[in-house]
Amino acid sequence: MNLKMPDLSTTGSPIKVIRWLIEVGDFVERGQAVVEVETDKATMEVEALGSGTLLKQLVPVGSEASAGDVLAVIGDSRPASSTVVSDNGRGAADFNYHRDFLLTLYERMVLIRQFEDRVKALFLEGIMPGTIHQCQGQEAAAVGICAALRPEDFITSTFRGHGHALAKGLTLQEMLDELFGAVTGCCRGKGGSMHIGNPGKGMMPGIAIVAGGIPLATGMALAFKLRKTKEIVACFFGDGAVAEGAFHEALNMAALWGLPVLFVCENNLYGASTRIDQVMKNTRVSDRAASYGFRGETVDGNDVLAVYEAARQAADECRSGKGPVLLELQTYRLTGHSRRDPGYYQPKEERAVWSASDPITRFAQALLVGGDADLDDLDRIQKKIDDEIESAVEKAKTAPKPTIDDLLTDVYAS
């Protein structure tokens, strides 16, 4: 794998290598800074696009290189003593992806981020009713998992489900209509933010009870197995759900019956405002799988390609009768637990570290360095999404609201 000089100069002038941050023979993680360079504007770091051993430094300190020049060679090997986020050492650079697929992943993550930011503004302005629990910073988890699923597969979600919904294919319009309480919403205006979903598109409406979706997903997977179909269900939940009895009961049943369910823990370190290390001695959630006799894996949840590859393998296992699988996606919530939460319990230093690992920024840099996109491509995507969101917001503001008669619809009694 070659480490190439990205297009960092605004004038096209050569870029000088200031110092190497990794020595030849050392192991480098995906996203780790390898070399410091000086452009015509500033000093910047060039990061590795995949994990491996640094085999060669091709440009000496003090020498210049142009955009696209190979700076170093990184091997695919991983020393046995090294610790990586993904249990199986799989790096996204080991796979070849079509440009359209990569841009689709990027666009979907940007869609989620800009949707969440616009919705937050609507709430702060007092225009949108109800409450919200948002997922800024966790976009790679939803997008990477859902990209590995088939259209006929299902997901279950939580009260923090906007990203899951957009990743599974729900439209901006049906979601915004739902948030505004309109009958044209995905749940006819009766679900709101915490119960987003559309079974017709493979997403059961979100369940606001912590861990509430886990037994539901297990039951759905049992139905798929009894019907002898190839469908699977991906079950999203947070690290706080691991302390609930429903988590352990459902995982045990899924293991006993070998069910096609992919349990996806979005470990953002906090259950509301309580940090994970305050409630569990072993904070590695994936270790729980071993106690029930099936495979668990911890993945960098801010690396959309790492999530996708882990999910693709897990989905194949579930589809072939080797499920269930537990994936722990290590990520971080860059916003409060809910709209009234300023997040003061998150240390500034911790937020700074995770902000530097923003999944969208990381993937954008990977696209630019890899030559799969330029800045104009990324700008066009963001502008397109901005226009689509604004159009959907204006329509949602005037979408029809439920009537008194709607109180008696969708009500079931035995």
Nearest partner of 307 among 163, 118, 158, judged by Cα: 163
Strands 43-47 and 27-28: unpaired
Cα–Cα distance measured from residue 106 to residue 151, given in angstroms and rounded to the nearest whole number: 19
In whole angstroms, how large is the CA radius of gyration of the chain?
22
CA separation for the pair 66, 6 (Å, rounded):
8
Residue 106 near residue 378 (C-beta atoms within 8 A)? yes
Question: Looking at the DSSP assignment, which residues form a beta bridge with residue 54?
Answer: 74
Distance from C-alpha of 222 to C-alpha of 58, rounded to nearest angstrom: 55
**Mean pLDDT over residues 38-48, rounded?**
75
Residues with Cβ within 8 Å of residue 178, at least 6 apart in sequence: 185, 186, 187, 189, 191, 192, 193, 196
Q: 13 or 237: which carries more pLDDT confidence?
A: 237
Mean of all residue pLDDT scores within the chain: 89
Evaluate the CA torsion angle 290, 292, 295, 296 in order and state its sign: negative
Report pLDDT digits (tens) over 344-386: 899 999 989 999 999 999 999 999 999 999 999 999 999 999 9
**Nearest 5°: phi and psi at 327?**
-110, 125
Residue 337: phi, psi to the nearest 5? -60, -40
Count of beta carbons in the 10 Å neighbourhood of residue 117: 14
Q: 313-346 pLDDT, tens per residue?
A: 999 999 999 999 999 999 999 988 987 788 889 9
Q: What is the pLDDT of residues 160-199, one digit of tens each?
A: 999 999 999 999 999 999 999 999 999 999 999 999 999 9
What is the separation of C-alpha 229 from the centre of its chain, rounded to a whole number of angstroms?
27
pLDDT band at 9 (very low <50, low <70, confident <90, very high): low
Name residues whose C-beta falls within 8 Å of residue 25's C-beta, 6 or more positions apart in sequence: 53, 54
Structure tokens at 361: 């920024």
Ranges 53-57, 111-115, 201-205: which has the least confidence: 53-57
Tell me, what's the pLDDT at 69? 82
The pLDDT tens digits of the residues spanning 236-283 come to 999 999 999 999 999 999 999 999 999 999 999 999 999 999 999 999
Q: What global pTM score does this model have?
A: 0.77
What is the pLDDT at residue 7?
59
